Amino acid sequence: MHPLLALAMLSTAQPAPNWLAGDWEPYSNAFIGLHMLSVGKNTLSWKGCVNAGFDIVDSSDNSVTIRLAKGSTCALDDAPPTRMDTVRFTLRENRCDLGVTVYASPDAAKRNEPSAEGLYGKSKCPSGPASQAAANLSTTTR
């Protein structure tokens, strides 16, 4: 492959938006077992997966959908564990709460059939205690 073509392909990788980067704490029962979610520009870390690479497949002002790298070990905390493939993050109006929807496959995402959905938040935000936020959202795994 020509070096300029390779460089062009690398430069088209879209990094995560600044509002998504950082550490997020679980508010919802569906994600309590997964603990802290940490998002970097092109990686995320969650229970059982560290620095898992991802590609952004869709993005808007307050929503990002990512597809995890094929070799990632990210999985839900159910039995047997459901592999995470596609994850949609939606920033709430207060800019502190993050809706998280996990899909087991690209097809499940297209059909809007999540394996789990719930809420994460920033630890230093005034949105209220985690228990209050969790009480306002149904978060059972499917």
User: Coil, helix or strand for 75?
Assistant: strand
Residue 116 domain flag:
yes
User: Please, what sign has the CA dihedral across residues 126, 52, 49, 85?
Assistant: positive
Residue 130 domain flag:
yes
DSSP lists the bridge partners of residue 65 as 58, 88
Which residue range(s) make up the domain with 101? 16-135
- For the chain, report the end-to-end CA distance as a whole number of angstroms: 44
Q: How many domains does the chain divide into?
A: 1
pTM for this model (two decimals): 0.79
Residue 9 domain flag:
no
Q: What is the pLDDT of residues 8-30, one digit of tens each?
A: 444 446 788 999 999 999 988 87
Q: What is the pLDDT of residues 71-113, one digit of tens each?
A: 898 999 888 889 999 999 999 998 889 999 999 999 999 999 9
